[in-house]
């Protein structure tokens, strides 16, 4: 099994290193990651400046690795179209610092690394740990290595991928694995407006997850209750019920 690793926290992230170490005994591991953090890059790709990729070291692993000046999606593009020579069997994006639950998926560079692989027809997994501090990397790394083998064995349907969120608990405290649906969890955004020494305004974007979004059967509920969440997702975002309803609207061309 040939596995490409990427992330949005950058090549120096301990989550990427933990993931590489867990996969190394069971796969040929290659790494292409941003040279610095690209969190919340979503599916941005680089079009208006040169993309660069330079050989780099991932800790003491000795694994083939490259650092790029691009986004997570760029990393997968560079890897598949040039750096690796031949495509990987599986792409794992992560392990992200912080959960990617509910509407986080829209902003997530981690998830978009998996999405870009899916666009190439490569089985992909996005993995996150639900904490920003004192992170237990071991359970997420071990589960990701196991899941990558399962994905390689069983395959995934066309244009689908898996989004995994792991509670920040020690291995013995995790209460199993649940196959979930995406929650409606979203952030209430706020702007902090400040003034620089010259009196010019600038802003910091902040926010917090809204309460009450951990509905039964969702990714948010599973993680809140100490279980690993595995959410199967697809690229087709068509809302069929609304599509059927719109057919009854007064939509016409030419307009009169």
Structural domains in the chain (count): 1
Q: Are strands 187-195 and 228-234 parallel, antiparallel or unpaired?
A: unpaired
Residue 8 falls inside a structural domain: yes
- Any binding-site annotation on 96? yes
Q: How far is Cα 141 from Cα 118, in angstroms, rounded to an integer? A: 21
Radius of gyration of the chain (CA): 20
The verdict on residue 109 lying in a domain is yes
Q: Is 9 marked within a binding site? A: yes
Could you tell me if residue 26 is inside a domain? yes
Q: Is residue 198 part of a domain?
A: no
Please indicate, yes or no, if residue 98 is contained in any of the structural domains.
Answer: yes
pLDDT tens-digit readout, 185-222? 988 889 999 999 999 999 999 888 776 678 999 999 99
Judge whether 8 is annotated as a binding position: yes
Q: How far is CA 98 from the centre of its chain?
A: 10
Flag whether 256 is in a domain: no
* Full domain range(s) for residue 173: 2-184+213-246
- In this structure, is residue 190 part of a structural domain? no
Please state whether beta strands 65-68 and 53-55 pair in parallel, antiparallel, or not at all (unpaired). antiparallel
Domain annotation covers residue 195:
no
pLDDT surpasses 70 at 99: yes
Look at residue 44 and tell me whether its pLDDT is greater than 70.
yes
The CATH number of the domain holding residue 235 is: 3.40.1210.10
> What local confidence, expressed as pLDDT, does residue 212 receive?
62
13 known member of a binding site: no
pLDDT reported for residue 89: 99
Report the share of the chain in percent with pLDDT over 70: 99
């Amino acid at each position: 099994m040939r596995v490409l690793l990427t992330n949005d926290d950058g090549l120096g992230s301990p989550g990427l290193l933990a993931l590489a170490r867990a996969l190394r005994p069971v796969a040929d591991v290659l790494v292409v990651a941003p040279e610095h953090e690209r969190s919340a890059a979503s599916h941005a790709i680089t079009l208006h400046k040169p993309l660069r990729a330079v050989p780099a070291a991932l800790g003491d692993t000795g694994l083939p690795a490259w650092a790029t000046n691009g986004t997570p999606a760029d990393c997968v593009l560079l890897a598949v179209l040039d750096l690796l020579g031949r495509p990987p069997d599986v792409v794992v994006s992560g392990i992200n610092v912080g959960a990617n639950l509910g509407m986080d998926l829209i902003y997530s560079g981690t998830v978009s690394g998996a999405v870009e692989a899916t666009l190439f027809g490569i089985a992909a997994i996005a993995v996150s740990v639900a904490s920003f501090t004192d992170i237990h990397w071991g359970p997420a790394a071990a589960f990701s290595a196991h899941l990558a083998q399962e994905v390689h064995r069983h395959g995934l349907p066309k244009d689908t991928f898996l989004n995994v969120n792991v509670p920040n608990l020690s291995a013995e405290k995790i209460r199993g694995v649940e196959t979930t649906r995406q929650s409606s969890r979203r952030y209430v955004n706020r702007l902090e407006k400040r003034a620089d020494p010259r009196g010019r305004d600038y802003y910091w974007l902040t926010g917090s997850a809204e309460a009450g979004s951990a509905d039964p059967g969702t990714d948010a509920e599973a993680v809140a209750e100490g279980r690993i969440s595995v959410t199967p997702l697809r690229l087709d975002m068509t809302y069929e019920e609304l599509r059927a309803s719109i057919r009854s609207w007064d939509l016409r061309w030419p307009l009169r």
